[in-house]
């Protein structure tokens, strides 16, 4: 797709609105402040950890049109920090102010729509079938086989809204959630990896190096560079698909596609229309972080250099009670600690992350 002429960026002192109050919004707001912008947040009541680093925060329902209008009136541009913002919320905001575009969110919110979209662009996916009732699930297992995984089409993340099915007998015990689901066959893979890109308002695209991602209990545990030969051999093909996705959506901002490295090449897993957990290493390990480049894109600024600036990098999530080990992390001279300020500690909750650049210190 042809690159369009550059647009004038937001002037310093402009205000960027962020839909959502989690840690991704927190890190966006901190980078925006470094670039001279003010951020205000908007999210329903909750542990909104981006509020303390924002100049203001609207605590209102997603369907509160009066609050959304007041929020938009304070903003020069608007973005989001997680993909479960209702589409109706975006529809209540001025379309020209919102980046990425609505279609990016709409596509990523529905796993079935997302898979079909990627297939139409020539991407590989795991074998899958839509499941609306028990008979659909039975047919899906007959067609695709087991083991497999049943996922809600909407909302599930970090292992939520997913049921592993090892055999047809397991399926008999599954209570369908009363919403559309999709059954996927398991993929035999050597490694999991992500392709993270940023696309500017002028159509320019830049990629960060791809990490090897390791998951535990459905949650990302570690992202590592170098990613290894299995991943590195498939990154270019995966990037080509990611570029097609970004251009087709006329995307603006950071976009993440997750892949399995397989004997047949990269297999698309899922898409996140936002900055991503597997890109947290870019804060210390890249010339320009994913958070800064997202703000640059939303503000219409030139994109920053995405090259990796350390030979080895490991980012590890801090889950649940591991957050109490702050002194242990800080005792490591190669460690960069990020705690998100969450008040409630519970099993499986991401409380922070630590990035290690061996050789420092």
Asked whether residue 215 is marked as a ligand-binding residue, the answer is yes
What is the token pair recorded at 78?
Answer: 């608007």
Whether residues 215 and 91 share a domain: the answer is: no
Asked whether residue 279 is marked as a ligand-binding residue, the answer is no
Asked whether residue 269 is marked as a ligand-binding residue, the answer is yes
Whether residues 222 and 348 share a domain: the answer is: yes
Which residues are CB-contacts of 14 (< 8 A; sequence separation ≥ 6)?
Answer: 37, 38, 76, 77, 299
Helix (H) or strand (E) holding 143: helix 134-144
Low-confidence ranges of the chain (pLDDT < 50): 1-6
Whether residues 94 and 142 share a domain: the answer is: no
User: Which CATH number do you get for residue 243?
Assistant: 3.30.470.20
Model confidence pLDDT, tens digit, residues 245-279: 999 999 999 999 999 999 999 999 999 999 999 99
Asked whether residue 111 is marked as a ligand-binding residue, the answer is yes
In a domain, 40, yes or no: yes
Asked whether residue 185 is marked as a ligand-binding residue, the answer is yes
C-alpha count within 13 angstroms, C-beta hemisphere, residue 316 = 14
Closest CA to 156 of 84, 260, 49, 63: 84
Whether residues 41 and 166 share a domain: the answer is: no
Asked whether residue 213 is marked as a ligand-binding residue, the answer is no
**pLDDT of res. 158:** 54
**pLDDT of res. 226:** 98
**pLDDT of res. 173:** 67
**pLDDT of res. 155:** 73
- φ and ψ at residue 248, rounded to 5 degrees: -65, -35
User: Residue 350 pairs with which residues in a beta bridge?
Assistant: 319
Helix axes of 111-120 and 235-248: crossing angle, nearest 10 degrees: 110
Asked whether residue 114 is marked as a ligand-binding residue, the answer is no
CA distance 102 to 83: 11
CA distance 261 to 264: 8
Closest CA to 41 of 63, 14, 10, 68: 68
What is the token pair recorded at 333?
Answer: 């001279």
User: Which CATH number do you get for residue 180?
Assistant: 3.30.1490.20
Helix (H) or strand (E) holding 15: strand 15-19
Asked whether residue 292 is marked as a ligand-binding residue, the answer is no
Does the N-terminal peptide bond of residue 226 adopt cis geometry, omega within 30 degrees of 0? Answer: yes
How many structural domains compose the chain? 3
Whether residues 25 and 58 share a domain: the answer is: yes
Whether residues 275 and 346 share a domain: the answer is: yes
In a domain, 69, yes or no: yes
pTM of the model: 0.93
Domain boundary among 185, 211, 234: 185
Closest CA to 359 of 331, 329, 323, 334: 334
**pLDDT of res. 5:** 45
238 neighbors 84 (Cβ within 8 angstroms): no
List Cα–Cα distances, 269 to 128, 159, 188, 260, in angstroms.
11, 13, 12, 7
**pLDDT of res. 156:** 60
Asked whether residue 156 is marked as a ligand-binding residue, the answer is yes
Domain boundary among 185, 204, 231: 185
**pLDDT of res. 359:** 73
Model confidence pLDDT, tens digit, residues 21-45: 999 999 999 999 999 999 999 999 9
Whether residues 262 and 181 share a domain: the answer is: no
Whether residues 73 and 141 share a domain: the answer is: no
Asked whether residue 158 is marked as a ligand-binding residue, the answer is yes
Whether residues 65 and 175 share a domain: the answer is: no
Say if residue 343 is exposed, middle or buried (CB neighbours under 10 Å; 0-12, 13-18, 19+).
exposed
Question: β-pairing, 191-199 with 265-272?
Answer: unpaired
**Owning domain of residue 65:** 15-104
CA distance 122 to 237: 11
Asked whether residue 293 is marked as a ligand-binding residue, the answer is no
60 neighbors 259 (Cβ within 8 angstroms): no
CA distance 254 to 273: 7
355 neighbors 283 (Cβ within 8 angstroms): yes
In a domain, 121, yes or no: no
- φ and ψ at residue 143, rounded to 5 degrees: -80, -45
106 neighbors 87 (Cβ within 8 angstroms): yes
């Amino acid at each position: 797709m042809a690159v369009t002429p550059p647009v004038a960026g937001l002037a310093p002192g402009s205000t960027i609105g962020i839909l959502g109050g989690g840690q991704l919004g927190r890190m966006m707001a901190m980078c925006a402040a470094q670039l001279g912008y003010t951020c205000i947040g908007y999210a329903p009541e909750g542990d909104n950890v981006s509020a303390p680093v924002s100049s203001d925060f609207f605590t209102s329902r997603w369907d509160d049109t009066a609050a959304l209008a007041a929020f938009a009136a304070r903003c020069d541009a608007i973005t989001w920090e997680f993909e479960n913002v209702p589409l109706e919320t975006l529809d209540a905001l001025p379309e020209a102010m919102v980046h990425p575009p609505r279609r990016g969110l709409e596509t990523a919110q529905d796993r079935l729509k997302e898979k079909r979209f990627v297939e139409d662009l020539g991407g590989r996916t795991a074998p899958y079938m839509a499941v609306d009732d028990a008979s659909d699930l039975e047919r899906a297992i007959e067609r695709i086989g087991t083991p497999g995984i049943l996922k809600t089409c909407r909302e599930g993340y970090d292992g939520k809204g997913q049921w592993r099915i090892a055999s047809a007998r397991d399926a008999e015990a599954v209570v369908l959630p009363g919403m559309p689901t999709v059954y996927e066959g398991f993929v035999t893979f050597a490694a999991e990896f992500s392709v993270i890109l940023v696309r500017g308002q002028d159509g320019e695209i830049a990629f960060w190096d791809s990490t090897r991602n390791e998951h535990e209990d459905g949650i990302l545990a570690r992202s590592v560079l170098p990613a290894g030969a299995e991943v590195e051999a498939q990154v270019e093909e995966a990037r080509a698909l990611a570029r097609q996705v970004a251009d087709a959506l006329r995307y603006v901002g950071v976009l993440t596609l997750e892949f399995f490295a397989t004997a047949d090449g990269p297999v698309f897993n899922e898409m996140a229309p936002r900055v991503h957990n597997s890109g947290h290493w870019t804060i210390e390990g890249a010339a320009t972080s994913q958070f800064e480049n997202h703000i640059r894109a939303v503000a219409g600024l030139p994109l920053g250099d995405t090259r990796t600036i350390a030979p080895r990098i490991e980012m590890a999530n801090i889950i649940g009670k591991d957050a109490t080990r702050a002194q242990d992390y800080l005792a490591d001279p190669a460690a960069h600690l990020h705690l998100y300020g969450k008040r409630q500690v519970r099993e499986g909750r991401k409380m922070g992350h630590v990035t290690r650049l061996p050789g420092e210190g």
